Amino acid sequence: MNRRLSNYIYFFILLFLSAVFVFPVFVVVINSFKIKFSIASDPFMLPTSDTFTGISNYISGLESTGFLSAFGWSLFITVFSVFSIILFTSMTAWYIVRVKGIFNSILYYALIFSMIVPFQMVMFTMSKTANVLGLDNPLGIILIYTGFGAGLSVFMFTGFIKGVPLGIEEAATIDGCNTLQLFWRVVFPILKPTAITVAILNTMWIWNDYLLPYLVIGNDYKTIPIAVQYLKGGYGSVDMGALMAMLVLSIIPVIVFYLFSQKYIIKGVAAGAVKG
């Protein structure tokens, strides 16, 4: 009886926490269909016949921000940055684990150290360096994201690879696999749960990131977070209806991607936390 009661308590606690986290998203969605004056006066009220605007906020936001162009640049940068992070960090982690040496140890701890360095400490030197090296463009920022995402990704891949039996790789080598075949045909398929977890974490970070694109590529190649800022007018005025509508459109791709990949998250995080 006590165990059943505790299960009910845990259920209602988790249900309450879920409601707390979902409520802000719900507020954004309902306000995206209301006139801006109603958003300011009654932000938590459902739309009524007097305050409901249909999709006019969405149309206004799309026209004011150039959202479709920003969506394209955000999608391009996010997809190729995440692909680059998974590709290079998985190979780096495998090399660090399987090839012992002082250099690899230094490389590993340097990557771990990069996780604790606040971005604000390096953002000005980084933006200047990007400008000097000609990285202030969509292709250049992909390289920068790969560098900033390497620390956590290598850490997670390394923890997982340490739990992979070496005998599997030795058997593949005996069967005639070279180094590339060994990694792509044997090791990388085993890394699938961690790779998906790394993809989810980096997708949510890169898609929603405002500061790095603003510093590096500015207004030349606007991403969604930068484009949304154009809804802010003079003297601090903001078209709240259009802003809420654009926020809804911006979070839909991440939510869809997360829902399709969520079953791998806990498995991948737990595997990446294994100590060697």
pLDDT in tens, 89-128: 999 999 998 888 899 889 888 888 888 888 888 888 888 8
Residue 117 to residue 149: CA distance in whole angstroms: 12
C-beta of residue 141 within 8 angstroms of C-beta of residue 206: no
Q: What is the model's pLDDT at position 235? A: 52
Sequence-distant (≥ 6) Cβ neighbours of residue 157 within 8 angstroms: 89, 90, 92, 93, 94, 191, 194, 195, 198, 272
C-beta of residue 158 within 8 angstroms of C-beta of residue 96: yes
Query: Is residue 30 situated within a structural domain?
Result: no
Average pLDDT on 250-260 reads 83
Query: Is residue 57 situated within a structural domain?
Result: no
Q: Which of the four pLDDT bands, split at 50, 70 and 90, describes residue 141?
A: very high
Q: Distance of alpha carbon 246 from its chain centroid, rounded?
A: 18
Average pLDDT on 192-221 reads 86
Predicted TM-score (pTM) of the model is 0.83
Q: What is the model's pLDDT at position 75? A: 92
The strand ranges marked E within 13-65 are none
Q: Which of the four pLDDT bands, split at 50, 70 and 90, describes residue 42?
A: confident
- Say if residue 268's pLDDT is above 80: no
> What percent of the chain lies above the pLDDT cut of 70?
92
Q: What is the model's pLDDT at position 274? A: 47
Q: What is the model's pLDDT at position 266? A: 61
Q: What is the model's pLDDT at position 60? A: 83
pLDDT in tens, 53-97: 878 888 888 888 888 888 999 999 999 999 999 999 999 999 998
Across the chain, what does the average pLDDT equal? 83
Q: DSSP assignment of 175-235, as one string?
A: TT--HHHIIIIIIHHHTHHHHHHHHHHHHHHHHH--HHHHHHTTTTT--HHHHHGGGB-GG
Average pLDDT on 147-163 reads 89
- Say if residue 219's pLDDT is above 80: no
Q: How many residues does the chain have?
A: 276
38, two tokens: 């109603």
Residue 228 to residue 70: CA distance in whole angstroms: 9
Q: DSSP assignment of 77-101, as one string?
A: HHHHHHHHHHHHHHHHHHHHHHS-S
Q: What is the model's pLDDT at position 153? A: 92
Query: Is residue 71 situated within a structural domain?
Result: yes
CATH number of the CATH domain containing 107: 1.10.3720.10
C-beta of residue 71 within 8 angstroms of C-beta of residue 224: yes
Q: What is the model's pLDDT at position 93? A: 92
Q: Which of the four pLDDT bands, split at 50, 70 and 90, describes residue 272?
A: very low
Report long-range pairs for 103-110 (Cβ below 8 Å, ≥24 apart). Answer: 108/154, 108/158
Average pLDDT on 208-236 reads 80
**Amino acid present at 181:** Q
Under DSSP, the state recorded for 133 is T
Query: Is residue 107 situated within a structural domain?
Result: yes
C-beta of residue 224 within 8 angstroms of C-beta of residue 254: no
Better-scored residue on pLDDT, 30 or 219:
30
Residue 209 to residue 51: CA distance in whole angstroms: 32
Query: Is residue 60 situated within a structural domain?
Result: no
Sequence-distant (≥ 6) Cβ neighbours of residue 229 within 8 angstroms: 210
Residue among 114, 77, 87, 107 nearest 203 (CA): 77
> What is the number of domains present in the chain?
1
- Say if residue 271's pLDDT is above 70: no
Query: Is residue 13 situated within a structural domain?
Result: no
- Say if residue 270's pLDDT is above 60: no
pLDDT in tens, 161-201: 888 888 888 888 888 888 888 888 888 888 888 888 898 88
Residue 179 to residue 186: CA distance in whole angstroms: 10
Range(s) of the domain holding residue 170:
67-272
Query: Is residue 220 situated within a structural domain?
Result: yes
Sequence-distant (≥ 6) Cβ neighbours of residue 201 within 8 angstroms: 152
> What percent of the chain lies above the pLDDT cut of 90?
14
